Structure 1
Amino acid sequence: MTRSQTTLAADAELTGVAFFTGGDVRVRFRPAPAGTGVLFVRTDLPGEPSVPATIEYALELHRRTGVRRGEAEVQLTEHVLAALAGLRIDNCRVEIDGPELPGLDGSALGFAEALRSTGVRELDAPRKTLRVHRWVRAADGDAEIVARPAEGHGPAAAGLRLEYHLDCGPERPVPPQNFRCEITPERFLEEIAPARTFITADEIPALRAAGYGERVDAADLLVFEPDGTVRGNAPRFPNEPARHKLLDMIGDLALLGCDLHAAVASRKGGHALNRDLCRTLRAAATRGDAPITEAIGVSTDPAAA
């Protein structure tokens, strides 16, 4: 089952602080024609260079995802991409005046609310789709992410179902927890977008020493103390960390640049494994490996992304 491509009905804009680099950032979301995908534009650089939000341009970063083409580099893309994908906004020009998107409150809610306020407009072109027909796995030690065919047939199978199993280990203050969800705009807004980035208190000194998070405090994310309590604010959900990891999955899987029809489960996975799965699925689509994936209108040329 395919659908029509979409874009924004009008511009949206917001400002915030970059979590890692600490700068003040302004980001503008603008409508884009069919076939554009999500395009990040660095308005602060000469010539306003751009980079498509596709796996071909993904960077290997710790604790976040970014993309780069030439001089155009943008980091912490996952929350914005999750908001766009969760709301099914396919084509968008994202103009940013710095190298990192704002962290806001550590969730995707601010981005989602700004995007939703403009309205969504359908375009006269079908959305690209990638349907998984056989199990595909990426792993690193005891962490793994698996994509398998969605259950059912026809419209019942035409969607993305995600689940995340969080287990930081018996010595960590974040308790084991799970979350699963079929991704629709309504469920994304209510159940996923508000989930915030989390961290343990003992991780903060090393991040500060590396120059990260100088303008971030406990109001901007969930900080777990050694006894399991949360510093500064209360969780929005009992399993908010697992929901946030699933939010990150949505944003990273959006680097495929198309709808993914599959059931995807991750256990202890993070950004690196999400990107590995994207590359594996993209490679299968490029090879035309029909037993594994079925690519419907998916470009295999990075230059065409």
Structure 2
Amino acid sequence: MIAYQRTPERSITLEGKGLHTGAPCRLTVNPAPVNHGISFKRTDIPESPEIPACLDSVVDLSRGTTLGSGDVRVHTIEHVMAALRACDIHNAVIDMDGPEPPVGDGSAKPYLDLLKSVRCREQGVPRPELIITTPVTYTDPVDNVIIKVFPAETFRVTFLVDYADHLTMGTRFYSLDSMEDFDQEIAPARTYSLLSEMKSVMQRGLGKGGTLDNNIVFIDREISEDELKELKTLFKVDHDIRLGNTGILDERPLRFPNEPVRHKILDLVGDLYLLGMPVRGHVMAFRSGHRNNVVFVKKLVEVYKPFIHTLKNPEPGAGLLGALMPDFAPVPQGWRVMKEKDQVRSVFDPVEYQGRYLDKGLIFRLLGLSAASLLLYDKVHTIRRIVFSGVRDLKFFKDIPRREYTFLSRIIHGETHEWTVSSRMMSGGNEVICEGVFKLNIERDV
């Protein structure tokens, strides 16, 4: 079954403060045309610069994944990316009037709920997917990190974290066996930190939007009463912070016994989506963080570069034509399309038709597909649908025996939303079998 690119049917908005910058931000997810991918637009900056969510845009990986272009930055995008991946959204423009998406409760659930509040539209163009056929391994011996991906029938993630035994962080191992489970098993898992890291994080100007509601703090060292008072001010709580016996600052309850490792999976899913397409394979990660995740994705690109290039830049063909022109679909087996200067040559070998002659209904459909095939080479990424609206001068010159034929199509008149195209069917000896002039209306994404 073909999976098609999808985009939200309308714009949807979420507001709040960023986790690290603490800056307010109004984030709006907007529809985008086919093959656009995901991008972030800083509407608070003159000319609203737009940054693609891809590996080439990654500029910093300190406590999160940051994209940049020139001096413009978009911080901590991994939760948004994970939610987009979970909702199978391939194309979206995300407007932001601040430097960092709202942190919400520290998980991907607010974004998942936001995206699920609107219907998504299939855009009629197949969605690329990297299918793992050869295992890929990334290792970092300094930080003792290993990430591997193996062939699998679907996308899976198995993750193992490694912290000191005295930390009450629950089971350090978890496996997401299907993206269908992401909503309930992974999305609600919140970000976390160690108490020993808090000072260095603050000194680097990060964590300004962190609270004890959106950031689980695990106690990994002794803490004095004076420090507790400082933390009360830092986290803006109106009560004395409790130490208790849970090993979690202020005894905040976990959503899952192993919430930290689940959040690691959440981050990995978001970082993997910087590839620009889903991955079909089983990813196994040990002690990985954002920096390792991104390096691993770069290694995937290195190993599968020819395949990824083909997936992102496919030659237009019968599958795309059938998706854009559903009134004339399906495209029969044995149909091939080629561009030749100012015309398109389509070749049809009727391998699936066993009768001696081809019927005129089929030939009419093939002529129409041939006419529409010209549009595959004119800003096809903006086309949502091609609609047949009329034909004139349709002529059949003889019966059509079952053999290979060539169709030639030329533009008579072409505008953005309306084209008139002549299409003719030729025999092997360039004898005209039939011809007609087709009028096509084009529905485009704005």
Same fold, judged at TM 0.5 (above):
yes
Q: Are residues 213 and 59 of structure 1, via their aligned partners in 2, closer, same or farther at CA, if it must alter by over 3 Å?
A: same
Cα distance in 1 between the residues matched to 2:7 and 2:182: 18
Cα distance in 2 between the residues matched to 1:256 and 1:107: 22
Aligned mate of 1:259, from 278, 292, 315? 278
Following superposition, the deviation at residue 56 of structure 1 comes to 1.7
The structure, 1 or 2, with the larger RCO (C-alpha pairs under 8 Å, 6+ apart) is 1
Alignment of 1:46-195 (within 5 A): 46-141=46-141, 142-150=144-152, 157=153, 159-170=154-165, 172-184=167-179, 186-195=180-189
Following superposition, the deviation at residue 285 of structure 1 comes to 2.6
For residue 286 of structure 2, what is the amino acid of its counterpart? Answer: R
Following superposition, the deviation at residue 70 of structure 1 comes to 2.8
Residue of structure 2 in register with 1:298 after alignment = 312
Asked if 1:230 is matched to 2:222, the reply is no
Higher mean C-alpha displacement, 52-61 vs 9-18: 52-61
Q: Are residues 64 and 242 of structure 1, via their aligned partners in 2, closer, same or farther at CA, if it must alter by over 3 Å?
A: same
Residue of structure 2 in register with 1:274 after alignment = 293
Q: Could you say which structure has the larger radius of gyration?
A: 2
Q: Deviations over 1:218-242 (max 9, x none)?
A: 1112111236522342111111111
Following superposition, the deviation at residue 298 of structure 1 comes to 2.6
Structure 2 residue matching 1:93: 3-state secondary structure: strand
Is the CA contact 1:161–1:264 (under 8 Å) kept in the aligned structure 2? yes
Residue of structure 2 in register with 1:153 after alignment = none
Residue of structure 2 in register with 1:35 after alignment = 35
Following superposition, the deviation at residue 183 of structure 1 comes to 3.4
- Structure 1 unaligned segments of length 5 or more: list them: 151-156
Q: Deviations over 1:86-114 (max 9, x none)?
A: 11111111001122222111100001101
Q: Deviations over 1:25-60 (max 9, x none)?
A: 110001111111101101011111111101121123
Residue of structure 1 in register with 2:197 after alignment = 203
Cα distance in 1 between the residues matched to 2:157 and 2:73: 28
Cα distance in 2 between the residues matched to 1:54 and 1:83: 16
Residue of structure 1 in register with 2:238 after alignment = none
Following superposition, the deviation at residue 132 of structure 1 comes to 1.3
4+ aligned runs moved over 6 Å, structure 1: none
Cα distance in 2 between the residues matched to 1:56 and 1:197: 25
Q: Deviations over 1:166-209 (max 9, x none)?
A: 1123365535511111332x411111110000112222122222
Cα distance in 2 between the residues matched to 1:172 and 1:231: 12
- Structure 2 unaligned segments of length 5 or more: list them: 221-244, 315-380, 382-446
Q: Deviations over 1:267-286 (max 9, x none)?
A: 10111111011111112232
Cα RMSD of the aligned pairs, angstroms, is: 2.0
Residue of structure 1 in register with 2:263 after alignment = 244
Structure 2 residue matching 1:146: 3-state secondary structure: strand
TM-score (norm 2): 0.61
Cα distance in 2 between the residues matched to 1:273 and 1:53: 17
For residue 266 of structure 1, what is the amino acid of its counterpart? Answer: A
Residue of structure 2 in register with 1:154 after alignment = none
Is the CA contact 1:174–1:228 (under 8 Å) kept in the aligned structure 2? no
Higher mean C-alpha displacement, 97-106 vs 165-174: 165-174
Higher mean C-alpha displacement, 88-97 vs 214-223: 214-223
Higher mean C-alpha displacement, 218-227 vs 48-57: 218-227
